[in-house]
Structure formats: C-alpha cells, structure tokens
Chains A and B, each alone.
Chain A
Amino acid sequence: MSLPPPAASQELASCHVCQKVSPIRLENCPRCGAHLHLRKPQSLERTWALLLSACALYVPANLMPIMTVSGLGGGEANTILSGVVAFWQMKAYPVAIVIFTASVLIPILKVAALVWLCLAASGRVWASPRALSRVYYITELLGRWSMVDVFVVAILVCLVRFGTLMTITPGPAALCFSGVVILTMFAAMSFDPRLIWDRHRADLADAPPP
C-alpha cells in the first residue's frame, strides 16, 4: 500500500494562514503575504524546549500557594491540590472534579501527549498515525481549559475583600500555573502534525512489499 504523495515532495507549500498551495520558491504566499515553509521550522526542537520549560514551571505551580485566605483566625495558604481536597471534603464533588481535571489532569495528559507525539514523529515509538492525529487534535482543543484555576483566583481576589474579616490575596503559583498553560499551548502550536505522516510515509517506503 502506498499513499498519495505529500505536497512537500513537489516543492509545494500550503500557506499556514490562508491554506493556498504555492511553490516554495516564492518564499511568501502570493495571496496573503505570509512566509511559506514546507514544515514548521525546528518544530520538534521548539516543542521539546517549550515542554521542558512547562515541566520546570509545573513544580513550583503545585508546591507554592495559589492564593492565601486571611481573616480573623489568621492566614491559610491554598495550593492547587489543597483546593481540590477542600472541595471534596465539602462534598462539592462536581466542582472538585472540574478543578482536578482542569488543573491537574489536563496539563499532565497534555504534556504526556505531546511527548508521545514528538517521540513518534522522530521515529522512536510507533503508533497509528490516525490515532496520533486524533491525540493532537484533542490536545489542542483541551489545553486552554486549564486556565480556569487562574481565573478563579482572579475572581476570588476581586470579590473577597472584607478587610480584617476575610481577604483573599493571589499567590506565586497563579503566575507559575499561567506560565505552564501558555507554554504548553505554544508547544502544541509549534508541533507540526505533518511530521507524523512524513514518518509514516517513510516507514511504508522502507517496509518490503508483502
């Protein structure tokens, strides 16, 4: 089985802005003026670098307090996980699940998915290209929802300002966690899914015909 050839094999590049297919030698898209390239430049290197930075920021994001609740009974620092546990103990199970999914599960799964995609694109693990494309699509779709915890902090800080009675102030983890979300979003954007299919085409070409 052989697949129809990719546009890149004919020196044709699909514009990443307007999708018009033009010869790569033009350098700029004749329709919208965007710079043309066959594949996103240094896609894997950039994705790895962004993923590593995201992982490094993820540690302080979970260890440091995301907000501090201070009131008459002194102050209490909340981390992301302690917030989830508090909701669970309050028997607010749906909220606990939403926060846990958005701030713990999605970032971890997203980084794992991108690592898997990078490894598959560089040929170190094998997986069906269709499944990988699906994974990439879901990764791009879900990443933004992790931001919900940062928004909750912003909302609570604004609403709960009752002086000595009760006040909520933001913690350093809010910044770290926004950094994690932004970096993983950039990582997903810099990954080029066409590399998966390039690898697949190369594998098919190497395999002896049955």
Chain B
Amino acid sequence: MKRHHPWLSWPQLREGPMQLACHLCDTLQAAPRLREGDGAYCCVCGERLYRNRPHSLAHATGFSAAALIFMVLAHTFPFLTMTSGSISTRLTLMEAAHVLIRDNDPLVAAGVVFFTMVAPFILVAGMLYVAAPLRHGVALPGAMRVTRWLQWMEPWSMLEVFLLGLIVSLLKLGKMAEVEFGLGLWALGGLVLCTAAALGGIDKMELWDRLEITRKGEANQT
C-alpha cells in the first residue's frame, strides 16, 4: 500500500493522476509531487496551491507540545500585577472572565474565554493528538474528526490579538499605577510563537494523505 518515491518525504495513495482545484478560482489542474521546500502555484490566479514542507509533522508535534507547556504556564501565572496603595490586583484569564461575569457581562466573558482559552487549546492539543502518532503511521481514534475541528478553530484562536491587547493596556495603565510583568506574559509570548510555528509548518496535503493511508490500512486488516 505504501509507495515511496525517491525524493518524496511521505507516501501517497495514488489511484490515478492527482488533481486539485484552486480554492480561489476553481481551476482544475494536475498536482504533481514536489521536492521538499518547493511550492505549486495556480496557473490562472497565481495563488499558492500547496507546498511540500520538510518534516512538517515533526515540526507540528514539537511546536504544539511546547505550546501546550506554555499554555499551562500562561494560565497558572498572572500576566500583569497592578499595585495601587495597599491593594494589588492580578490578571489571569480565569480571573478576567470571573470579573466580567460578576459585572453582568457573561456573554463577553464567554467570548474572551472561547477566543483565548478554548479555541487555542483545541488547536494545540488537537494538533498534538493528530500529528504525533501520524508520524509513525498511526491514527488515534477520531483523528479525522479532530483534524476537521482544527480547521474550524483556526480563525477563532486569537491569542496574538490578546497579546496586543495586553501591550495596549500596559501603556494605558503605566501612567496610573505600578504595573509589573508576570511570568504569564512571557509564557503567552512563547505560546503565540509556538502556535504560529506549528500552524504555519503543517503541510495539510501530507496530513490528509497520511490520514487516508492509515484508514485504508485499517480497512485492509479487517
């Protein structure tokens, strides 16, 4: 079932010549295998159709594992601590959601929690769940469904926007009171970088080809 080509980085199930339709202009064109690092571009609109990213799954595994560790740190330690007189307040995401709910704004609280905690968690944990075993040709139960969730969650994970919000707040508060950086802020920076690296490095063609192969393999065994 697995077929290795001399310069290909992953096996592909081929039941005939591969074709691909550009997602912008729908032009049907042949999808040849590329050398590592090369990209294929649409002949009509010039949009990049796909790229062969070397070691895509290994990168995704490494970066999403690192992102998960950063995520734990970012939620454990405060991003900022503000002191005015004898009172000091700490900012963590849970705390912010709690205060918003207390101030009668549960919908905004739900939005903040979803965009900064739920969506990034599904993205990072889901990527690790799919990519790590798939490197060794194993798909854990529900891997295809998780991959679909990943695609849906991608636009709603807004950690980098939250980081910009933190910087803006810092500049706003700096003149009012004493504000200290917490470990959470650095962890959030690491989390944003690792999530971007994991997402940017993953090769969706390779991911789906490999998922398809593992499923065909399972079907053959039974």
The answer, yes or no, to whether B168 is at the interface (CB within 8 Å) is yes
The answer, yes or no, to whether B23 is at the interface (CB within 8 Å) is yes
For chain B residues 83-115, which have a beta carbon within 8 Å of chain A? 84-85, 87, 89, 91, 95-97, 99-100, 103, 105, 107-109, 111-112, 115
Interface size classification for chain B: 35 or more
* Interchain CA distance A189-B152 in the complex, whole Å: 11
The answer, yes or no, to whether A89 is at the interface (CB within 8 Å) is no
For chain A residues 179-210, which have a beta carbon within 8 Å of chain B? 182, 185, 189, 193-194, 196-198
- Contacting pair B23 A155 (CB below 8 A): no
Q: Which residues of B contact A185 (CB under 8 A)?
A: 155-156
Interface stretch of the complex, out of A51-59, A119-127, A157-165:
A157-165
- Contacting pair B168 A194 (CB below 8 A): no
Q: Which residues of A contact B112 (CB under 8 A)?
A: 150-151, 154
Question: Given that A21-B21, A175-B105 are known contacts, is A33 also in contact with B89, CB under 8 Å in the complex?
Answer: no
- Contacting pair A155 B20 (CB below 8 A): no
- Contacting pair B169 A32 (CB below 8 A): no
* Interchain CA distance A87-B19 in the complex, whole Å: 54
Question: Given that A92-B171, A175-B108 are known contacts, is A158 also in contact with B99, CB under 8 Å in the complex?
Answer: yes
For B181-211 the 0/1 string (1 means CB < 8 A from A) is 0000000000000000000000011001001
- Contacting pair B84 A166 (CB below 8 A): yes
**Chain B residues engaging chain A, CB cutoff 8 angstroms:** 19-21, 23-29, 43-47, 79-80, 82, 84-85, 87, 89, 91, 95-97, 99-100, 103, 105, 107-109, 111-112, 115-116, 144, 147-148, 151, 155-156, 158, 161-162, 164-166, 168-169, 171-173, 175-176, 179, 204-205, 208, 211-212
Q: Beyond A159-B82, A178-B107: 8 further Cβ-contacts under 8 Å?
A: A7-B27, A18-B208, A19-B20, A92-B171, A129-B45, A133-B47, A154-B100, A197-B44
What are 28 A-B contacts defined by CB distance under 8 Å?
A: A4-B28, A4-B29, A5-B28, A7-B26, A7-B27, A19-B21, A19-B23, A90-B175, A98-B164, A133-B24, A133-B47, A147-B115, A147-B161, A148-B168, A150-B108, A152-B172, A154-B100, A155-B91, A155-B165, A156-B169, A158-B99, A162-B89, A163-B87, A165-B85, A170-B100, A174-B105, A175-B105, A196-B25
